[in-house]
Structure 1
Amino acid sequence: MNISKLSNKTGVSVRSLRYYEAKGLLESERLENGYRNFHEPAVDRVKVIQLYLGLGLSTKEIVQIIDCPVLVPDQQPPCEKAMNAYKTKLVEVEKQIEILQTLRLHLQQLIFNFENPNFSEGTE
């Protein structure tokens, strides 16, 4: 199938598909006319790429695990590389959440102080 048909089947832009191919996530063969030709399994592969991107993994991280089984209930567990990528991403997300919670607290305090300039704790 050509790249436009793959785009239509997956809902992913032609530009993104070309990017995935450039990053080594997706393969095609070139026809005599120079057009890309993707085989039917490319549809599922693009869906897996989208799943991983949705989990916050970078294309560099995805390249390392793209051929591992996807974590789906009632199927075999993912390979060790994939599990390590999931765990690493979880640690990163938890750190980001901690930073954002601290930032939220500081902003709340700043807003409170501006909106209540005469408020001081322990006043009678």
Structure 2
Amino acid sequence: MKIGELASRTGISIRSLRYYEQQGLLSPVRHENGYRDYSPLAEEQVRTIQLYLGLGLSTEQIAGFLNCVLMNKEAFCKEVLPIYRQKLEEIDSQIKLLNNIKSNLEDRIQSILEEQPIGEKEK
């Protein structure tokens, strides 16, 4: 299948598909005229890539285990576990940071409200 058809079937832009190829996530056959020819399995590959991008993983991380996942399914790919753990640590750190920012903003709002004269509160 040509790149335009793959883009149409998956809803992913041609530019993104080319990027996935550059990152080693997709490997189409190249014809002498330069056209890319994707296997019927490429559609599943793209959907799998999108799933992992949606989990917040980078293309570099995905490249490390994509073939294993596509061949064996996720439960049999031990390469995925450390990446998941690392991502969870990153998310926990981000949540902690966001909670601190939220608390700081709430304190500032409260401080401003306490400083205003009674008739002007909550304007």
Normalising by structure 1, report the TM-score.
Answer: 0.86
Aligned residue for 2:38? Answer: 38
Cα deviation, residue 115, structure 1:
2.1
Query: Over aligned residues, Cα RMSD in angstroms?
Result: 1.7
- Seq. identity, %: 41
Deviation at 1:118, TM superposition (A): 5.7
The residue that corresponds to 1:122 in the other structure is none
Deviation at 1:32, TM superposition (A): 2.7
Letter in 1 for 2:41: P
The residue aligned with 1:105 is 103
Structure 1 unaligned runs (5+)? Answer: 120-124
Which of 93, 96, 101 pairs up with 1:95?
93
1:69 has 2:69 as partner: yes
Mapped to 1, the partners of 2:33 and 2:23 lie a distance apart of: 23
Letter in 2 for 1:79: C
State how far apart, in whole Å, the 2-side matches of 1:52 and 1:43 are: 15
> Contact conserved, 2:24 with 2:63, CA < 8 A, in 1?
yes
**Shift of residue 21, structure 1, vs aligned partner:** 0.3
Pairs within 5 Å for 1:1-124: 1-69=1-69, 77-117=75-115
Q: Relative to structure 1, is the Cα distance of residues 18 and 115 closer, same or farther in structure 2, using a 3 angstrom cutoff? A: same
Structure 1 residue aligned with 2:120: none
Distance 1:90 1:106, change over 3 A: same
Indicate the SS of the match to 2:52. Answer: helix
TM-score, normalised via structure 2 length:
0.86
> Which 4+ residue blocks in structure 1 deviate beyond 3 angstroms?
none
